[in-house]
Amino acid sequence: MAPSTIAALLVGAAVSSACTIPTEPLGNNITYPFRAQVQNASRPEVHNKYMNLFEAGGGDRHLFIGPVGVPTYDLTLVAGVINHVPNGVRAVIGGEYSEIDHTTKMFMTGRDDPRAIFQPTYACNPVTDGLQIELRFVTWQGQPEGGHICVRSSFDGSHEFRYSPPGNRLIDVNRECIKVTLVVMPTTDLPPPGTSTTLSTSTTSARPTSTSSSTATSTSTPTGLPTPAPFTDLTDLGFRFVGCAPEERWTDDGAFRTLPDATESSDDMTNQRCVAFCAERGFRYAGTEWRRECWCGDEVAPTRRPATTLESLARCDDGYLCTGDPAQNCGGDAWLSLYERCEEGEACENEVFT
Ligand SMILES: *[C@@H]1O[C@H](CO)[C@@H](O)[C@H](O)[C@H]1NC(C)=O
Ligand SMILES: *[C@@H]1O[C@H](CO)[C@@H](O)[C@H](O)[C@H]1NC(C)=O
């Protein structure tokens, strides 16, 4: 039998984990925005769908798999608790206890109900074998450890999120609560039109009025390069362009995000806006990405530093035009247009690419 056939049989017979799981444990905070994906490959009606927020009374948000609810791209994890900062809510468990299957609703609120606590954990996707970060359910605060999150069919073809306690074997045969794995999907895709209501706009007020001009671009387009210029000349603002830096790397040379310390996302993103956002917060580096994101940090790991070849600019000159100014590039798909604050008393000059 050919080795490949044997391998194929093994994959069918056992849980394969050829993907390499990083050894360092993950903390219980995830500061980059993510979507929560639901996985249970034996249940196609829920597999690979996403957690939506659905506005309920009193500012609460209920949690559904579509078609009900608003796709939500900017969840974060704070001390093991799923948060949606723009709406000031976090995931809790409580209410709507069901006698039949002993499950209890999980939803989001700003009130102090006992939280649902998760631990981010690296794992191999059981189907694709890709590395992923799963949110392993730890406990319903104040209750015994264990149990799991499940989704149960609800109105209009949706499924709602529920908690099933440790050791629970009860099943509601009319609407089984399907056990699911929650997976962190870092937001690297643009929300479809009309669903941007959940994106953070809380930092909009930080936008200095002086950053709306894009004249710096047109006056400084390096000759011989395609337009728009692969980068924006911000030396007037005290920032130099350093290059196109890799982002979102599953490596242990630094944070998953190259510039993890502050971020904003906007329909009006420009490189000027981003450096102003980071400068205002005292950060040395600012980077734009995926047309609409701005990331800040004080360090760039040596392995994440951009190259200085002309070719290295391609990943940030690839059609990811800034949402706030189509004459500028704002990074790429998991690549940052990286700018660095110039030191006082030093000439402020962009990197030279050859
Ligand atoms: C997670 O964030 C919380 C609140 O911001 C903080 O108190 C805690 O120390 C952080 N945990 C880790 C492991 O960094
Ligand atoms: C999928 O759901 C079924 C029904 O709840 C459950 O028995 C099974 O363990 C789940 N599979 C995974 C991988 O969670």
**Closest ligand to the CA of 183:** 2
Which residue lies with its CA nearest to atom 5 of ligand 2? Answer: 178
Dihedral angle sign, alpha carbons of residues 123, 129, 131, 135? negative
| Residues 68-105: tens digit of each pLDDT | 889 999 999 999 999 999 889 999 999 888 989 999 99
Mean pLDDT across the chain, nearest whole number? 83
Pick from 132, 170, 179 the residue to mutate for probing ligand 2's pocket: most ligand atoms within 8 Å of its CB: 179
* CA pair distance 279, 90, nearest whole angstrom: 30
Q: What count of other Cβ atoms lies within 10 Å of the Cβ of residue 285?
A: 23
Contact between residue 313 and residue 231 where contact means Cβ atoms under 8 Å apart: yes
**Phi and psi, residue 58, nearest 5°:** 65, 25
Given this model, what pLDDT does residue 242 score? 97
Confidence band of 222 (pLDDT split at 50, 70, 90)? very low
**With a 6 A CB cut-off, is 175 part of the ligand 2 pocket?**
no
Peptide bond into 67 cis (omega under 30): yes
Query: Which two tokens mark 66?
Result: 């579509």
Residue bearing the bigger pLDDT, 57 or 127: 127
- Closest to 101 (Cα-Cα) out of 161, 152, 39: 152
N-terminal to C-terminal alpha carbon distance within the chain: 53
Confidence band of 273 (pLDDT split at 50, 70, 90)? very high
Of all residues in the chain, the percent with pLDDT exceeding 90 is 56
- Closest to 353 (Cα-Cα) out of 247, 223, 214: 223
**Closest ligand to the CA of 41:** 2
- The rounded Å distance from CA 54 to ligand 2 centre is 25
**With a 6 A CB cut-off, is 40 part of the ligand 2 pocket?**
yes
The residue with tokens 């993907």 is 19
Q: Which residues pair with 183 in a beta bridge?
A: 37, 134
- Closest to 322 (Cα-Cα) out of 277, 283, 265, 281: 265
Half-sphere exposure of 216 (CA within 13 A, CB side): 23
Which residue lies with its CA nearest to atom 7 of ligand 1? Answer: 79
pLDDT of 34 strictly over 80: yes
**With a 6 A CB cut-off, is 136 part of the ligand 2 pocket?**
no
* CA pair distance 326, 269, nearest whole angstrom: 10
Query: Which two tokens mark 126?
Result: 């059981």
Which residue lies with its CA nearest to atom 6 of ligand 1? Answer: 79
**Closest ligand to the CA of 151:** 2
In order of 42, 86, 189, 190, 213, the CA distances from 71 in angstroms are: 23, 14, 12, 11, 33
Which residue lies with its CA nearest to atom 13 of ligand 2? Answer: 40
| Residues 276-324: tens digit of each pLDDT | 999 999 999 999 998 888 999 999 998 899 999 988 998 898 788 998 9
**With a 6 A CB cut-off, is 29 part of the ligand 1 pocket?**
yes
Given this model, what pLDDT does residue 188 score? 66
Closest ligand 2 atom to 148 CA: 14
| Domains of the chain and any CATH numbers | 3-190 (2.80.10.50), 201-341 (no CATH)
Which residue lies with its CA nearest to atom 8 of ligand 2? Answer: 179
Confidence band of 167 (pLDDT split at 50, 70, 90)? very high
Contacts of 284 by beta carbon, 8 Å cutoff, 6+ apart: 297, 298, 299, 340, 341
Q: What count of other Cβ atoms lies within 10 Å of the Cβ of residue 130?
A: 10
Which residue lies with its CA nearest to atom 3 of ligand 1? Answer: 79
**With a 6 A CB cut-off, is 39 part of the ligand 2 pocket?**
no
- The rounded Å distance from CA 295 to ligand 1 centre is 20
Given this model, what pLDDT does residue 58 score? 76
- The rounded Å distance from CA 48 to ligand 1 centre is 29
Section 5-33 average pLDDT: 69
Confidence band of 157 (pLDDT split at 50, 70, 90)? confident
Given this model, what pLDDT does residue 115 score? 98
- The rounded Å distance from CA 44 to ligand 2 centre is 11
Which residue lies with its CA nearest to atom 10 of ligand 2? Answer: 179
Section 212-226 average pLDDT: 35
**Among the ranges given (19-23, 52-56, 209-213), the one the predictor scored with the smallest mean pLDDT:** 209-213
pLDDT of 182 strictly over 80: yes
Confidence band of 202 (pLDDT split at 50, 70, 90)? very low
